[in-house]
Chains A and B, each alone.
Chain A
Amino acid sequence: MNLIRRTVLGALAAMPLTGLTTGISLAQDTIVLGEVNSYTRLPAFTEPYKKGWQLAVEQINAAGGIDGKQLEVISRDDTGDPATAIRIAEELVSKDGAVLIFGTFLSNIGLAVSDFAKQKEVLFLASEPLSDAIVWSKGNKYTYRLRPSTHMQAAMLAEQAAKLDAVKWATVAPNYAYGQDAVKAFKAELTKLRPDVEFVEEQWPPVFKIDAGSTVRALEAAKPDAIYNVTFGGDLAKFVREGSLRFLFEDRDVASLLTGEPEYLDPLGAEAPTGWIVTGYPSTDIETDEHKAFADAYMEKFGEAPKTGSIVGYNSILAIAAALEKAGSTDTDALLTAMEGLIVESSPTGPFTFRAADHQSTMGAYVGKTGMVDGKPSMVDWAYADGADYLPSEDDAAALRPTE
């Protein structure tokens, strides 16, 4: 007993000594970027994202880097846990010498890291999380967000949904912040455009645990004219399968958030629904020069078509590179000044800016319908919706943020 305790506590006490000495001095010719994401928790979404930023880093470095300095990304897995993400962010900043942090997918991790960024006064570019809170109700000086938010994407769908004859709507959304925000935004935007609509049923299945049969039946029982869907991933597949088996989608319009993204649409294969109004990313069909160059390079490097994550990862690095160039330094204050109203003039999805008022980028999304092309699910009749058109005015948005 005694011996153990001695050994144990000796070992425990000695741990801080082992090889963990103060920050490594970094070579002057690299700029270290810290990156954290849920690589093991959600590999289906984060792997394409990682490939996207890897490609961008490679291209920028091949072209000479930023002011002659090479970009180096230190990428870590947050294991899907906000507390781990914060510990890693701390290590990236204080030990690895990262000049900023980017990444995260899950909204709660995005929020946790944004709060960390505020406390430790370091720039954080939230690449993937969709939560409105990140830039609005819980926004802060140090956090910017790239991807079009829940509110923006819901507003894009509402605009299309308003053109339908449907009056009675039912909603189905995963029961957590993202689902709740998505339903709230859609209701608000649709009611603004069409005061005559009513919402007759809401279903809130637990995320990744949908009881699809019962949910479909509950929706059917309300006899809505149209359905607004927010479920995704495995829940979506179950919902689509049970829904089509039970004729839920016959003669009904469906507006579905994110379902046009290859991450969600491709796994549905031949059973993918057609004619749903969706937001997404028709990755192989976008013909602009910038996008073709990106898609070709991506195909060449990875042997697969880019997905939504890929474009988000790629644009993250473009935005960071633009900010570094504009700031002319890696100092946080200079970077923050550079981020305000930063214009990224050329990206595969077209130019976008980071609004000074609420730190949201105006990167948009593609809105269209689901369809089958050569036996494969894809988006048809799509158009690019510029994010700027679906955001509240800068004054209104600024009012949504806490005073600092």
Chain B
Amino acid sequence: MGFYFAQLLTGLANASSLFLIASGLSIIFGVTRIVNFAHGSFYMVGAYIAYTLVSLWSGSIFGFWVSVLLAAMVVGMIGLVIELTILRRIYHAPELFQLVATFGVVLIFQDATLAIWGAEDLLGPRAPGLNSAVRIMGEPIPEYDLALIAIGPVVLLAIWLLFHKTRWGVLVRAATQDREMVGALGVNQAWLFSAAFVLGSFLAGLGGALQIPREAVSLQMDLSIIGEAFVVVVIGGMGSVSGAFVAAVLISVLNAFAILIFPQISIVLPFVIMAIVLIFRPHGLFGKPGSEKGAPEEPDQPLALMDQKSAMVLMAALLVLAISPVFTADFTTVLMVDVMVATLFAVSLHFMMGVGGMVSFGHAAYFGVGAYGAAMAVKFLGFGMIPAMIFGPVCAVLAALFFGWFCVRLSGVYLAMLTLAAAQILWGVTFQWQEFTGGDDGILGVWPAKWASADKVYFYIAFVFCIGGIWALRRAAFSPFGYILRGIRDSQTRAEAIGIDTRFHQWMGFVLAGGFAGLAGVVFAFSKGSVFPDTLGIALSIDGLIMVLLGGIHALAGPILGAGAFVLIEDWVTRLDYWRFIFGAIILIVVLLAPDGIAGGIQRLLRGLKGGRA
């Protein structure tokens, strides 16, 4: 009995840590609708600053707690600076575009932290006065765990009081429900947004600072927490702080007990819980309908068909690409294959997000299933290259059929998070099932057939599949099916009213996008010769998302531009020292100059030039 009680306490202590970071994320999303990737970075920086301050004041109880608070405040100020200089300028950008800016911030913080604090993990002191364990029912429980168990509910209470007993809190809640209305009533939204962002950053910094007595401060802290923090926010319901608390407790306590029975489960447990919750409660445990929507925005301009002249230019450009291997070096063709793969992947994601209106945080799942499908067909079924290249996308279609059926029942960020859960579960299975998928060691030896093994020959295979895929998706966007999808995106109610089965069409849109992502995965697998679980990982899904958003979600050319820019810039900057800083800075500059994405920016530039001439 004592043992299980102690395990419960351990779970609750973890829950408090998780809650602190998730609460800040939830507040920021609730008010500003920003999906803040940089939240993990705030958490990490909070821990580093607290480490420095606590080390200065070694051993003093007062010093420790003051350091923790100071660190959180500094992080709050950093949040303010970021809000004022970057995010404030792009609130009117298309939905989720701010996510790209926070991604740039993540990259910059990673290198800045490395430059300031160095590469080695830093183990701070234990909390003075709370540095040993007490026995409860005969089991040793660290005193600091008990402190954490108390801090979680205290912070929850403080936030509740702030939101319910102060005018500011009332306004924040009002803004969470209806921002337009709050603005119409004469409340200064800009100020409200800044304050909410500062509060959220402060809580992230606090969460990080409070980890000092528990773990070594390391450069992996940012990315290791962010996924779980999102999961907690979504399970609880976007914007619901008490929901985040319940979700944090749920995840942490279940994990504490699950590892007694099935230790390997930790890898995917939060995502499995999230998937289950979302299937039964499409807005999370405490989320309200409508809490998933981003900022209201202008309806999209209808997509226009190309005129004859631009079609000819396009054909000419394709021709140049097609004959490029003749006059470029081997390595360039390899790089171009990477660009084409990334472009097809981004175009397929754009089909889902831009045309279908379904945001995906887990699109890499279908890319990865395609890649693995082909690799396993080669290894286990002895398929040749071309049959495997057909088999891979079929696997991706099947996976998309299965997961898509669940996902299209949701909308907005909840849909996006369910796609992420699906991707993580697939990743976990691939990672874990060593006998079948090779686990982390992946599957090797998936090289093109002998006749296609020269870089230039493979270039043409990739060209046919990728450009063909992009062309097919473009056709689909202008087909009746594409028009229906766009109709559903713009108004689901009206689409239903004219007799369209909206779910079925969205499901098919999901499957189509998944299938073409699988095709990109197949071309990728044969160009690299090996596949690893990374091909299903969050990092790749995020890269795809950044490509689509950075390119401009409202234009069919957007993902093409975004993918090209992303791959080529990355290939170039990784040659430099502190390249993440440079890459992040480039992303921020693009974001600030072109809040409608690269495609939108170029469009405005051209219109400006034309206008100037007229």
Contacts and interface: CB of A to CB of B under 8 A. Distances in A.
Interface stretch (B121-129, B177-185, B395-403): B121-129
A271 B123 contact: yes
Contacts of B309: 2
A233 B218 contact: yes
Given A108-B440, A234-B216, 14 more contacts: A5-B313, A16-B328, A16-B333, A82-B534, A84-B574, A90-B455, A94-B331, A177-B434, A204-B263, A205-B259, A211-B10, A214-B10, A241-B123, A246-B141
Interface stretch (B24-32, B163-171, B555-563): B555-563
Contact of B123 (A91, A221, A237, A263): A237
Contact of A202 (B114, B120, B263, B574): B263
Nearest to B133: A245
Contacts of A3: 310, 602-603, 606
A94 B329 CA distance: 8
B532 A82 contact: yes
A236 B558 CA distance: 45
Contacts of B297: none
Nearest to B121: A267
Contact of A209 (B123, B266, B303): B266
B530 A111 contact: yes
Among A6, A94, A242, which residue has the most Cβ atoms of chain B within 10 A?
A: A6
Contacts of A178: 440
A28 interface: no
B332 interface: yes
A215 B259 contact: yes
A86 B539 CA distance: 17
A126 to B, nearest CB: 13
Interface in B102-126: 110-111, 114, 119-123, 126
Contact of B336 (A16, A175, A206): A16
Interface string A256-292: 0000000100111101000000000000000000000
Interface of B: 3, 6-7, 10-11, 13-14, 110-111, 114, 119-123, 126, 132-133, 140-142, 145, 214-216, 218-221, 224, 252, 255-256, 259-260, 263-264, 266-267, 303-304, 306-307, 309-310, 313-314, 316-321, 324-325, 327-336, 338-339, 431-432, 434, 439-442, 444-445, 447, 453, 455, 524, 528-530, 532, 534-535, 539, 555-557, 560-561, 564, 568, 571, 574-575, 579-580, 599, 602-603, 606
B574 A77 contact: yes
B529 A268 contact: no
Contact of B320 (A13, A20, A112, A202): A13
Contacts of A116: 528-530
Nearest to B325: A16
Q: Closest 6 A-B residue pairs measured CB to CB?
A: A43-B119, A2-B310, A237-B216, A9-B317, A16-B324, A13-B317
A8 B528 CA distance: 27
A209 B221 CA distance: 9
B307 to A, nearest CB: 6
Contacts of A2: 304, 306-307, 309-310
Contacts of A40: 110-111, 114, 579-580
B434 A180 contact: yes
Contact of B120 (A8, A83, A267): A267
A20 B329 contact: yes
B120 A16 contact: no
Given A6-B314, A175-B266, A16 B332 contact: yes
B328 A241 contact: no
Contacts of B535: 83
Contact of A8 (B7, B455, B530, B602): B602
B441 A217 contact: no
A215 B264 CA distance: 11
Nearest to B459: A16
Interface of A is mostly: helix
A180 B260 CA distance: 18
A89 to B, nearest CB: 10
A267 B255 contact: no
Given A8-B599, A217-B10, A246-B140, A13 B530 contact: no
A87 interface: yes
Interface of A: 1-17, 20-23, 40, 43-44, 47, 76-77, 79, 81-84, 86-87, 90-91, 94-95, 107-108, 111-112, 114-116, 118-119, 131, 133, 138, 175-178, 180, 202-206, 208-209, 211-215, 217-218, 221, 233-234, 237-238, 241-242, 245-247, 263, 266-269, 271
Contacts of B303: 1
A274 B303 CA distance: 68
B121 A237 contact: yes
Given A94-B331, A138-B441, A17 B324 contact: yes
Contacts of B314: 5-6, 9
Contact of B331 (A79, A95, A263): A95
A243 to B, nearest CB: 11
B318 A76 contact: no
Nearest to A134: B441
5 contacts: A6-B314, A14-B320, A83-B528, A177-B439, A177-B440
Contact of A5 (B220, B260, B557): B557
B256 A211 contact: yes
A108 B266 CA distance: 21
Contact of B574 (A8, A76, A208): A76
A234 B259 contact: no
Among A108, A114, A208, which residue has the most Cβ atoms of chain B within 10 A?
A: A108
Contacts of A115: 444-445, 529-530
A111 B444 contact: yes
A244 B77 CA distance: 36
A211 B264 CA distance: 12
Contacts of A234: 121, 215-216, 218, 220-221
Contacts of A43: 114, 119, 219
A213 B144 CA distance: 12
B259 A95 contact: no
Given A43-B119, A175-B267, A213-B10, A9 B560 contact: yes
Among B120, B224, B264, B313, which residue has the most Cβ atoms of chain A within 10 A?
A: B120
Nearest to B306: A2
B332 A20 contact: yes
B432 A4 contact: no
B439 to A, nearest CB: 5
A215 B11 CA distance: 11
A208 B220 CA distance: 8
Contacts of A214: 7, 10-11, 14, 255-256, 259-260
